[in-house]
Chain A
C-alpha cells in the first residue's frame, strides 16, 4: 500500500498531464460579431449626419461597380444611379427597427402570456396554449401575405405582422420555463410564506426565465431581419423610395447576371448582421444564464 502510493506520487511528480489548449477562435468571432453590430447600429443612428448624398438622389450613372474615390460611390450605384452605400445605411434603420421593435414587442407580449399561462394554469393556460399553437401552425408567409393584402404596406403593418409571428415562439418558451421554475422548492416556499402571485412571478420566476428568453432575442431579431428582407423582396415590405435591404435585393434581381453587386452587397450585409446576431445570442446565453451553471 505504502510502496504503491510512493510509486504513484513519483510518476505524478515527473509527468504533467498534457491538457489540450482551448482554442480561442470563438472569442475572435464573437468580438467581430459585436464589432459589426456596433458599426451597423452606429451608422444607422448617424445616417443623417454622415457626408453622404441622400439615398433617393442619383449620384452618377446607374449600375456602377464598387470603386475608390468618392464615398457615395464606394459600393457602386443601383439601377437608378443612387448610392448603394447610402441605401445600405438607411436600409439598416428599417431592418434594425423592424427587428428590434417586433422582436421586443413579441418578447414582452409572449413572455407575459407564457408566464401567466404556465404559472396560473387552468383555463387561461389552455387558452394561451391554443392560441400559441394555432399561430405556430399557420404558415408565416401566408399570415404576412394576408395581412399586407388587408392593410396597406407600411412600416407599421410590417411591425404588426412580424410581431404576431414571434409572439407564439416566446409564449411557448416562457410557458415551458415558468412551468419548470414554479415547481422549484424556493417558489413553493415563497408561496408558503404568504408571498402573492405578483411577487412570486416578478421576483422569483422572472429573473430565472429572462436569461434564457433574452438570449433568444438576438436570434429572433436575426430571423425577423431575414423575414423583412423576404417580404420586401416580394414587394410587400417597406414602400419605395425608403430603402431596405430586402428591397434592394429585389430591385437588383433582374440585373443579377450582369451586375451581381446589386444583389450581393445587400445580401452580404443581411448575412453579416444575422450571423453576428446569432453569435451574440449564443455568447449572451453562456455569459448570463446562471441557470446553465447548475
Chain B
C-alpha cells in the first residue's frame, strides 16, 4: 500500500438518460485499487457495479454521462484524449465479461481473437504472437492449445470459452484486470475453477484484479479487499476479512445474514432482504438503504451518513453502524487467507 494505487476512482457519477428519466446508476463513488491486489465489488443486481466497470473501461452508451475522476496511474481516463485512452484500454486495463458465449466473435477463430490485441497494440509479429497465444492458453488451463487456436468459439464449452476470454484479456499483460460477474453464466463446478484461475494469475503476475459479483461467496476467499455497493453508492469498503467477519454497515450486515454459509457449492441468492432497491431515477435523500433498514432515524435521511473509518483499513457509510464483532453468521471469509 506504499505505492500509489493503480486505479483511483474519485467522486465518480455515471448517469444514464432513459425514457423514464435519468438513472443515477453510479452516484458519487470513491475507491482505490491497490497494486498487485484483488478488490471485490459486491452488491445486489442493479446496484451499479457494471456501470462503474463500464465507466472505467469507457464502455458506457453514448446517452450516459460521467463526472468525477478515474485516475489510472495518475492520469484521468475521463478527460484523456481518445487516442491516449485507446493505449490504456486493452493494453493496461483489460476486462473479462459475464457471458463468454457473447463476448467472443462467433465467426472468428480463437487464434485471431487471441493475437489481435498483441499484434495491434504491441506490434508483435505473427509468429511471435502465435507462440504467445499458445503460452497463454496453457497458462489459463486450456488443454491441447494447438488445436484450440484453430477452433471457433462455438466449438468450445462455456468454461473453456471463459478461459479463452481470460487469456485474451491477459494477452497484452495488463496492470489491471476487471472481471464483471465472470462466472455467473457458468455452472457451479466450473465457476470455482475459473475464480481460482483468476486469483492465481493475479498473484502470479503481480497484477491488480477487480472481481465484481452479486454473490458474496465468489468474492469471499479470493480478494484482499472488498467494496459493497448499494443503489449506486458505496456502503462499506475494507479488508475482505474485516468486512466479512465484522460488517459495520447495516446493508452489509443484512446481506451477510441473507447469504447461506459461503463457500458452499450453491448459488447464494441475495434477494432475501425484504424490500427492493430504490428507484434509480429518484433515490431517497441521505442513506439509500433507509427503506429497508431496521434502524432508521431522522439523521439517516438528513444529513445522512458519510464514509468514515470504522476499523483498520475498514470504512463504512452508516449513521448507526453495527457494533464491531456482531457477527451475523459463520461466513466464509475463513478460507480467505490462502
Contact = CB atoms under 8 A, between A and B. Distances in A.
A186 B105 contact: yes
Given A188-B59, A192-B89, A194-B83, A290 B106 contact: yes
B58 A192 contact: yes
- Contact-residue bracket for chain A: 10 to 19
A291 interface: yes
Interface in B72-102: 83, 86-87, 89-91, 95, 97, 99, 101-102
Nearest to B103: A185
A26 interface: no
Contact of A208 (B97, B99, B105): B105
Contacts, number: 57
Contact of A121 (B62, B89, B152): B62
Interface in A183-215: 184-186, 188-190, 192-195, 204, 207-208, 211
A293 interface: yes
Contacts of A186: 103-105, 113
B154 interface: yes
A194 B91 CA distance: 11
Contact of B86 (A121, A184, A193, A207): A193
Nearest to B113: A186
A52 to B, nearest CB: 45
Interface of chain A: mostly helix, strand, loop or mixed: helix
Contacts of A258: none
Nearest to B120: A193
Given A190-B116, A192-B58, A294-B153, 5 more contacts: A185-B97, A193-B91, A193-B117, A195-B120, A204-B105
Interface of A: 121, 184-186, 188-190, 192-195, 204, 207-208, 211, 290-291, 293-294
B226 interface: no
A194 B104 CA distance: 18
8 A-B pairs with the lowest CB-CB distances in the bound complex, closest first = A194-B86, A185-B103, A193-B90, A293-B154, A192-B89, A207-B107, A185-B97, A186-B105
A33 B150 CA distance: 33
Name, among A185, A190, A194, A291, the residue most crowded by chain B CB atoms within 10 Å (CB to CB): A185
Contacts of B108: 207
A250 B103 CA distance: 55
A185 B105 CA distance: 9
Contact of A291 (B90, B97, B99, B107): B107
